[in-house]
Amino acid sequence: MKWEQKGQSPDILLSLCPPWGVLSPPLGLAYLAESLSTHGIGVEICDINVLLYRQVDQTDQRLWQTTNDAFWRDSNNTSSLLNKWKTQITLLTDSIADSKSPIIGFSVIDPNEHFTAQILRIVRKKAPSKTIIVGGPGCTDLYQRQELVEESADAIDYFLIGESEQSLPRLISLLKHSKPVNNFPNLINAHSTLAYNREQRIRPNLDTIPFPKFNNFNIALYGGMSLAVMWSRGCISRCLYCKERALLGQYRMRSVESIVDELKYCIETLGINNFVLYDSTVNGNPKRLQRVCDEIIRQQLSITWSAEAIALKSMSSTLLKNMRKAGCHTLVYGIESGSDKILSSMGKLFDSITATKVLQRTHEARIKVAINILVGFPGENDFDFQQTIDFLVKNSRWIDRLDGVSSLQVVCNTPLEKHAADFGIVLPENDPHDKWKIANGNTFEIRQKRLLDVLEVAYREGFEVGRTFLTDVAPQPMKNRTQIHYPASSAHNNPATTVSQQVIPHTVSSSSPPPYESHLKDGQELNSGDDSFKKILIVTCQSLPISGKPTTGGSLRAYNLGQGLEKCGHQVLFSLPTQCLTTDIEKDQWQDLAHTGYNIKDIISKTDAEIVLFCNWGLAAANTPCEIPSIIDMNGSLILENYYRQHSQPFLDSITKLNALANTDYIIAGSETQKAYLTSWCLMSGKNPDSLTICTVPFSLSAQMPDSQDNNEIQFILAGYDWPWLKGTQQIRAVCEELAHSQNSSLHLFTSTAPYSDSINEDSSSDTSGNLYSLNFPALVKHEPVDFYELTKNLSRSSVALDLWQKNPERDLAFPSRTVTYLWSGLPVITNSNGELSKLISDYNAGWIIDSEDISQLRVLTREIINGSIDIAQYRQNAQKLFTDHLCRENTIRNLNNFCCQPFLNRTISPFLAKYYFMRDLSRRLQTLKRVDENQLKYQEKLLYENKKALYDKKKECELMGMVHRRPKGLAVLFSLPLIQKRFHRLIIGTPVLIYLSVLTLIGHTLHILWTRRNRS
């Protein structure tokens, strides 16, 4: 199909490539054509967009749906389309090349850039002598122009930027008469430089531009049912995510006469009386809008129209009813959020209450209410998003349609893009507009999830749903949706200018399974390839078990958490304390990221880590606040451990711990008991019960377990550090005494007296008690400390393990790493009845649960084991089964992995902590003054005789300090001088008021009595 050429000797051919609206002629080209014609310049139009749409099959026509915009943004897709539609495109480009117009103009609008560039390349080949000018919002930025030039193989001669109704006719005249155009405003010669030679802001008075008469268009191609019209340009708002202001400037509205004239022309000449306003907002000038409506009503123009509007207070019932009378059938409001905080951050001119009122009034005026929702604006947390959901539910009776539900795109040249760093926005190289993220968990995936939540509400509440922006990016047209590109309305939906119409390619759909649902076997990757993998820095306070040194449970835990996260697909880095790097291998491997305990922020910025995992709260507290999402592994109670280590400073430890919790985003507990214990700490730190983020990771050893080795001997084993809170001498003695009766049984002890290196607690001399190592029994075989590899070999050779200690608060809370390691090695364990794993061990017959105080029970059990009356092999199998079922990383690390995939900030501070820090600062400030006693003051009084004011202030501060430190308690409160003074003051002020009120009351009563008596008499 060839387009219909109208008029003679055209000077310019204007064209537009797909995808764009097909139900109305493209308004931009129509305005240009009208202006050119008015200036006597011959114009012809070749709307490749609609011509191609009419020629391709129905399936391909779905590509014009706005939901498939992402498809066009991929140059590979557009290349395949060019191949697929080769015949049609050859015909169209031949027509353009054969046209008599020496100049060809193309309009570039997202997402038609790639297609346009490739068409330009063909046209240039076919018509090398024609001058090609490109304009439109898709070439306003330098990088857009660079891409177009590159992709079109230098097919473009000029770019003309900005509103061109006035400049294009002048330019064509100059080119037509071969006059120089070097200094032409906003014209860029694409063969020399892509930067402006002379930039000029052109914002014409809209009444000076003729409205389109569509003489050059074949209206029938578009169905002839409705027309896009423009009553204004620019916007009164400056929403941070929107490009409208940058492109079109302040709000300018056409005169009432001009608007009405155009409507009359369309009705009378074109026979069209249904219009779609293409304005960013119809109510930027409510008074003029009122007059337009009045005029339409007065002239009895029988029209219908729809428009976009801002939910301003000025949208009164009167205005809305008039709009309805004037034919307005639908208003689309860019409500975007139900959170006032987010609305204000966006720069919206209304709050949620105003929005509610306007929606209600619109509904009551019998105008259909459509709204747009935008999720993921920086700062939008779960609470804000919930407010949006609540808003939709609360206002569902006023809302008819959800016109667009979109996820925020960071669009070039918007204030949001220019200040992305201030918002904490990270723009990835690949697909930055969509896949941007913020460290607090505002990721593409979360935004997609929120879109689904909004849609769920929409369907539940029975709204019509327009653009959902949830489309799979695929090389074929997808869902059979009904929306197609339509220059329907304002910049809220303008693909060139704002977010809403820029369709989001997505990889999450409602049918997508939750990421980690299936039961995974060892060796299977937990995550499938997407960008949810993070770079995680694990900060330990000990060496790692692969360093060739003896290991602790904490070290094993940290290393295996890292291994587990790596298995999930994350990149894991370790930062070890500098003083732990004692071997050459350690220095080689970890020197670069070694920490001093207080320099984690430097390491984070050095490594670009996205998440930091601290292996205890001491490390976390020393590095608050952390700018990236942080996790603390809080297995065990460090406060209790510190107590047994004689490092105890309960108050300071508690405050530090609360501070660490308040500043962390995610917490790992070792067990359910620990989780309950940590919940109360978290609440004290100010965390909201609804946003507690504590997961339980008992351990994360691999399901790959060591093979058991046959051993003729009955070998008991006890391995691990000799911590001061572990008291098991009695139990070991009892076992050893029983073992002594047997020829081939022994207890092997793998422990160490060496203090372990701790970067926070400088004095670690009390970290080992040395109790175990000092034990001497004939059946006790003491080994030199070995590394984890050697220990594992010994564990697999053993028959039974011991993890049996006197009860104490630390043991009650501990999750026994060594028991987990025993089970992993296939060792049945004799352990305490109060241990976290005792129930599981008992259920699986994976060991023996005894009361640690009941030594006789232990003796009997030991004898039974030695006598061979217990099937140890079966117990070994059970131990490994228990581990596989409950403790291997594939089953334990999921929640942690989920957080790492979608991390977020969850920080807070309790009033208590805030008060503490305030008082601490105050105390520090006054510390020097505290020491100033009365004599010193008198002495200073002499010295400061000349400066009584300074002395007075100092005295006051001393008094305040005194009050802080000597708060009266008990009865003293009653007699404390300052309090008595305070009450006395109150009495002096309060007494006259009291007397005054009493007199008033008495007078009132008296009058009332007198009045009653008089009435009676």
Contacting residues toward ligand SF4, per CB under 6 A: 235, 237-239, 242, 244-245, 280-281, 310, 334, 490-492, 498
Amino acid identity for residue 559 in this structure:
Y
Q: How far is the CB of 148 from ligand SF4 (least distance, A)?
A: 25
Angle at 378 between CA 377 and CA 380, to 5 degrees: 70
Smallest separation, CB 363 to ligand SF4 (Å): 21
Query: Nearest distance from residue 452's CB to ligand SF4, in Å?
Result: 23
User: Please, which residues bridge with residue 15 across strands?
Assistant: 46, 106
Task: Using alpha carbons, select from 187, 181, 182 the residue that is nearest to residue 200.
Answer: 187
Tell me whether residue 27 or residue 870 sits nearer to ligand SF4 (CB atom): 27
Nearer to ligand SF4, 237 or 659 (CB): 237
CB 898 → ligand SF4: shortest distance, Å? 34
Q: At closest approach, how far in Å is the CB of 344 from ligand SF4? A: 13
Q: How far is the CB of 242 from ligand SF4 (least distance, A)?
A: 3
Residues in the chain: 1017
Query: By 3-state DSSP, what share of the chain in percent is helix, strand and coil, each rounded to 5?
Result: 45, 15, 40
> Least distance in Å: CB of 442 to ligand SF4?
19
User: Nearer Cβ to ligand SF4, position 52 or 405?
Assistant: 405
Q: CB of 882 within 8 A of CB of 687?
A: no
Nearer to ligand SF4, 288 or 535 (CB): 288
As separate numbers, helices (DSSP H) first and strands (DSSP E) second, the chain gives 40, 31
Name the packing angle between helices 934-943 and 948-965 (round to 10°): 170
- Cα dihedral angle (133, 134, 135, 137), rounded to 10 degrees? -170
Question: Shortest distance, CB of residue 347 to ligand SF4, whole angstroms?
Answer: 7
Query: Are 730 and 700 spatial neighbours (Cβ–Cβ below 8 Å)?
Result: no
Tokens of 133: 């000018």
* Nearer of residues 169 and 284 to ligand SF4, judged by Cβ: 284
Sheet holding 630-633, edge to edge: 571-575, 535-539, 611-614, 630-633, 666-669, 694-696
Q: How far is 674 from 634, CA to CA, in rounded Å?
A: 8
Nearer to ligand SF4, 238 or 881 (CB): 238
43 or 346: whose CB is closer to ligand SF4? 346
Q: Which residue in the block uniquely carries the two structure tokens 């067990």?
A: 671
The DSSP element (H or E) to which 132 belongs, if any, is strand 131-135
The smaller minimum CB distance to ligand SF4, of residues 490 and 696, is found at 490
Q: Which residue has the tokens 């991929």?
A: 74
Which alpha helices (H) appear in 636-763, and where do they start and end?
638-644, 650-662, 672-684, 729-739
Q: CA 167, CA 287: separation in Å to the nearest integer?
A: 31
CA distance 642 to 658: 16
Complex with ligand SF4: residue 310 or 613, whichever CB lies closer: 310
To ligand SF4, the closest distance from the beta carbon of 335 in angstroms equals 11
Dihedrals φ, ψ of 535, to 5°?
-95, 115
Rounded Cα–Cα distance for residues 591 and 482 (Å): 60
Q: How far is the CB of 517 from ligand SF4 (least distance, A)?
A: 38
Burial class (CB in 10 A: 0-12, 13-18, 19+), 410: buried
Choose between 319 and 732: whose C-beta lies nearer to ligand SF4: 319
Q: How far is the CB of 383 from ligand SF4 (least distance, A)?
A: 23
The least CB distance from residue 244 to ligand SF4, in Å, is: 4
The encoded tokens of residue 636 equal 């065990």
Least spacing, CB of residue 349 vs ligand SF4, in Å:
7
Angle between helical axes of 553-567 and 817-824 (0-180°, round to 10): 60
The rounded radius of gyration (Å) of the Cα atoms in the chain is 39
For ligand SF4, the closer of residues 349 and 692 by Cβ is: 349
Residue closer to ligand SF4 by CB (options 237, 502) is 237
**Strand 328-336 to 227-229 pairing:** unpaired
Angstrom distances, CA of residue 874 to CA of 360, 552, 826 = 73, 29, 10
Minimal distance, residue 953 CB to ligand SF4, in Å: 52
> In whole angstroms, what is the distance from residue 893 CA to residue 219 CA?
62
- Looking at beta carbons only, is 110 or 244 nearer to ligand SF4? 244
> Which CB, 109 or 905, lies closer to ligand SF4?
109
Strand ranges of the sheet holding 43-46, from the earlier edge strand across to the other edge: 43-46, 12-16, 103-107, 131-135, 158-160, 187-189
